[in-house]
Amino acid sequence: MADQRSLTLFRAKFGESAFLDVYQKLYEAPDPGPALALALGTATRIAELEAQTRKMAQVRPICLISINTNLARCGVITLVRAC
């Protein structure tokens, strides 16, 4: 019976210690609110820009300009416009 009591006491102390350890780590953690608000604002802005890009692509095709990097190293830049 004494072994059971000591085992129960050990379990209770271990559980309390583990709980307090987790509680203290959560208490010391920074508030995630500002970071989440910033992420939400950024995601909203990205969605708006993507919608605007799709709209502009329908009105006017996007032109790609490529630069030959081998010639650019020599000081010669050739621009090729592909629409």
pLDDT value at residue 4: 83
Task: Determine contact, residues 63/81, Cβ cutoff 8 Å.
Answer: yes
Domain ranges of the chain: 2-82
pLDDT value at residue 73: 56
pLDDT value at residue 61: 55
Task: Determine contact, residues 64/80, Cβ cutoff 8 Å.
Answer: no
Q: Does the model's pTM come out above 0.75?
A: no
Other Cβ atoms less than 10 A from the Cβ of 68: the count is 13
Averaged pLDDT, groups of 10, the chain, 83 residues long: 82 93 93 91 91 79 55 53 52
